[in-house]
Structure 1
Amino acid sequence: MASPNGSFFTTIITRNVCRDIRRQILLCRSLSSASSSEASASVEEQLSMPVNLSEDYGDSNKWDDLKTRIFSLRMPKRSATNVLERWVGEGRKIDISDLRSISKELRQSQRFKHALEISEWMVSHDEFEITDSDFAVRVDLMNKVFGIDAAERYFEALPSDIKTRETYTAILHCYAGSRLVDKAEALYNRMKEAKLDLTAVTYNELMTLYMSLGQLEKVPQVIEEMKSQNVALDLFTYHLWISSFAAALKIDEVQRILQEMSSCARSDASWKRYVELVNIYLASGHLVNSTQASLVESEKSISQREWITYDLLIILYGGLGNKDKLDQVWRSLRMTKQKMIGRNYASVISSYLLLDHLKEVREIIGQWKQSAATDFDIHICNRLKKAFTEIGMSEKAEALEAILSEQRCA
């Protein structure tokens, strides 16, 4: 889940509250109907399953840090809790910042069951000061390991003072991921009634949900709500707003938003790159306004709306300078096995080119030329060169020209 923005209200959990929450967690586990194989064992088995230390991480003397021991658990059924207890039993101390760091890496590695065990261990020990963010992470982990019903029960069972913006947004994230639009909207109304100090993150979750359901008309409504509540729009907010209009081929609206972004006092280097990339995309992709109620479908199952969403996601990560995510989305786009068009190549070439990753630009142009499904279009490349020149980046245009010459593109 996206990390909630803003400061966190630190809550010191008393012994009785910890005991109550632990019971609630166990109840959620026992009642959960999640399909995960990790959830199939009983609560007792998951909490106290013995670990074969020699099998999991060999002689413990070889391991001198907690993270290595936990990451050496090769099977999800092995207990991270046992590793923590053994560590403490050896007279070693555990810092909560270390637990948070290990949990984050486990989540990034999709080892959610072990991350959940660490979260449980944290809240069951009184010496740790647990923050709203810790509980928000736990809500998300409950959803990933045991399913949305368990996450919902856990959230509802939390004490009222722990139901803050962070934990509310966490369960909203779960609803959005499960496309439960009615529950998401009802929860948002509860958040407003509770007079929580909401940030762009909450509204972004709603807009992401509407985009996933194709309810494009609801995105501008959320933007208006944000502005009426004086909630600052972040880059991802603008991205969703632009994507909703681009997917509907309302290009005039896209250009109006780009002008607003350019004049925004909060804009930074990432915003500037994003605006430049969208402008280049519009110039090179030949997107035009459409008065049709529905978009033209491509030859197969993916719609023009979905293609544009892929393109703009590539542009978002290009604007953020996040090459790893850019690589990931490009791979996903190619794995759709749909017939790509020149506009798709234009979005990824311009993103890599703006970030000076010329090796990738060469590879993509080579792939495009060799594609049996999509004819290489030199005219799109020429429009890209022109667009870069018009925004004052003639060196990018020259780099692209040199690559085209190397590849003997006519």
Structure 2
Amino acid sequence: MASRSLFLGFRRRSNQWCVSRLLSSGSVSSEYVGDYPNDSETDDLKSRVFRLRLPKRSATTVIEKWVGEGNRVSISDLRQISKDLRKSQRFKHALEISEWMVSHEEYKLSDTDYAIRIDLMTKVFGVDAAERYFEDLPPTAKTSETYTALLHCYAAAKLTEKAEELFERIKGSNLSFSALPYNEIMTLYMSVGQVEKVSSVVEELKRQKVVPDIFTYNLWISSCAAALNIDQVQRVLDEMRCDSGFNEDWQRYINLVNVYVTASRLATTNSSSPIEIEKGITQREWITYDFLVMLYAGLGNKDKIDQIWKSLRMTKQKMTSRNYICILSSYLILGQMKEVEEVFHQWKQSTTTEFDISACNNILTAFEDVGLTEKANDLHVLLIQRNCSPTNK
């Protein structure tokens, strides 16, 4: 995570004033010297903005120069540049792009533009600034998207009371919401260890006749697994199969959950107690991360799996056979045999968790039980190649 920038002099309540100060800092033309392209370089607005390598340098100055040279700037161009900046975690420059759009009345901002601005305000100035910005919005701009954006800010900061208060406002509004705000509050409860509250959020979602998505089910299943209620996990999976949104991605996810529960013998694991560790991740949260890995495997998103697995290995939490089973199964179902071999090697070389051939046998059996015979065969071959002796049925 990129560290948030700190700005001295941030004292007044007006967010417009705050952003103006931010945009004016470093806006002198000398800051842009040397950023003009060479003959061999692409010369467009995005390229010029991305050549601003230091956060203190002003994207506003770049846009003004671009327009001053007689070039046009469309709102779609600005949105795309902002999106690319956010992907690169250049939030200060992305916020400057947003401010340019706000300050020019010819651009009609969408609900999404306002929601993105709330997220950027949080990343650059903090939650309090984003909160004040939201409250100062006109009623027409307080939409389902902006409400959800602020709720996400609270959830990410683990501000439970503020999130619950806003969630009550959301439920009491006349706006139409998707499953997203419900997912946000469930994510918060999982992150602070209040897993018992997740089921009540699901019940409220159903009362409001909101259609759950695969992330809703993932959070629900994660909460059941964290409480070691495996029977409830199976009931949720059955409900997923009856959902009108059931599709191939959901089936892959269900298959992985079944593999995971069967192979890891989750109901009898000895690592279920929420023991705090140095990096702040509890055993309960690790189960949640395991299911998140499987969710992205079901969606076919390998990049997300790579990111989560890398992050988890950087903690000082002791890896368990269950964790290795989860990541092995996920890569295996995606056909990523190179990654399967790498994880397998890491497990065998681990100094904290003894390699367990019986756990690998459980994976083989579990894959066969859900009809994924080809995947089981792939793992069987790998085990033989690694001089292990699987005793697959």
Kindly tell me: are residues 69 and 155 of structure 1, through their superposed partners in 2, closer, same or farther at Cα, counting changes over 3 Å?
Answer: same
Which residue of 2 is the match for residue 113 of structure 1? 92
- Given the superposition, is the C-alpha separation of residues 49 and 145 from structure 1 closer, same or farther in structure 2, using an over 3 Å criterion? farther
Matched, 1:263 2:267: no
SS at match of 1:55: coil
2:386 is aligned to: 407
1:266: how far off? 0.8
Kindly indicate whether the alpha-carbon contact (under 8 Å) linking 2:24 and 2:58 is maintained by their aligned counterparts in 1. Answer: no
Instruction: Look up the match of 1:124.
Output: 103
1:11-410 matched pairs, under 5 angstroms:
24-29=14-19, 42-43=21-22, 45-46=24-25, 48-58=27-37, 62-288=41-267, 295-296=272-273, 302-410=281-389
Distance in 1 of aligned mates of 2:125 and 2:364: 51
Pick 1 or 2: higher relative contact order, CA cutoff 8 A, min separation 6.
Answer: 1
Partner SS for 1:186 = helix
d(CA) in 2 for partners of 1:171, 1:25: 15
| Deviation larger for 42-51 or 90-99 | 42-51
- The alpha-carbon deviation at position 29 of structure 1 amounts to 4.5
Q: Aligned equivalents of 2:202 and 2:196: distance in 1?
A: 11
Distance 1:172 1:216, change over 3 A: same
- Is 2:37–2:43's contact at 8 Å kept on the other side of the alignment? no
Q: What residue identity is the alignment partner of 2:273?
A: V
Unmatched runs of 5 consecutive residues or more in structure 1: 1-22, 31-41
Q: How many residues align?
A: 375
Q: Is the 8 Å Cα contact of residues 280 and 384 (structure 1) preserved in structure 2?
A: yes
Q: Deviations over 1:210-256 (max 9, x none)?
A: 11111111100000000000000000010110111100101111110
Q: 1:278 and 1:342 mapped to 2: Cα distance?
A: 15
1:368, distance to aligned residue in structure 2 (A): 1.1
Change (3 A) 1:91 1:195: same
Deviations 1:349-408 (A, max 9, x none): 000000000111111111111222221111111111111111111110110011111111
TM-score under structure 2 normalisation? Answer: 0.90
SS in 2 for 1:373: coil
Counterpart for residue 15 of structure 1: none
SS in 1 for 2:286: helix
The alpha carbon displacement at 1:105 in A equals 1.2
Matched to 2:254, the amino acid is V
Q: Is the 8 A contact 1:28 1:154 kept in 2?
A: no
Q: How far apart are the structure 2 equivalents of 1:297 and 1:139?
A: 33
Q: Distance in 2 between matches of 1:85 and 1:299?
A: 51
Give me the whole-angstrom Cα distance separating, in 2, the residues matched to 1:49 and 1:120: 18
Aligned 8 A contact 2:221 2:233 in 1: yes
Question: What is the one-letter code of the residue matched to 1:296?
Answer: S
Counterpart CA distance in 2 for 1:226 and 1:260 is 15
State, as a whole percentage, how many aligned pairs show the same letter: 56
Q: Aligned letter for 2:340?
A: V
Report if aligned partners of 2:190, 2:285 keep a CA contact under 8 Å in 1.
no
Q: Which moved more, 1:57-66 or 1:305-314?
A: 57-66
One-letter code aligned to 2:15: I
User: Could you tell me how far apart the structure 2 residues matched to 1:304 and 1:52 are?
Assistant: 49
Distance 2:45 2:126 in 1: 28
On the 8 A contact 1:56/1:74 being kept in 2, the answer is no
Alpha-carbon offset, residue 298 of structure 1? 5.9
| Distance in 2 of aligned mates of 1:386 and 1:394 | 9
Say what the alpha-carbon RMSD is for the aligned residues.
2.2
**1:192 Cα shift?**
2.5
Matched with 1:9 is none
CA drift at 1:177: 1.3
Deviation per CA, 1:54-112, whole angstroms, max 9, x where unpaired? Answer: 33345589442211111110100110011111111111111211111111111111100
Q: Cα deviations across residues 130-170 of structure 1 (Å, max 9, x unaligned)?
A: 10110110011011100111111111111111111111111
What is the aligned partner in structure 1 of residue 5 from structure 2? none
Residue identity matched to 1:95:
S
Q: TM-score, normalised by structure 1?
A: 0.87
**Whole-angstrom CA distance in 1 between matches of 2:146 and 2:296:** 27
Structure 1 residue 51, shift from structure 2 partner: 4.6
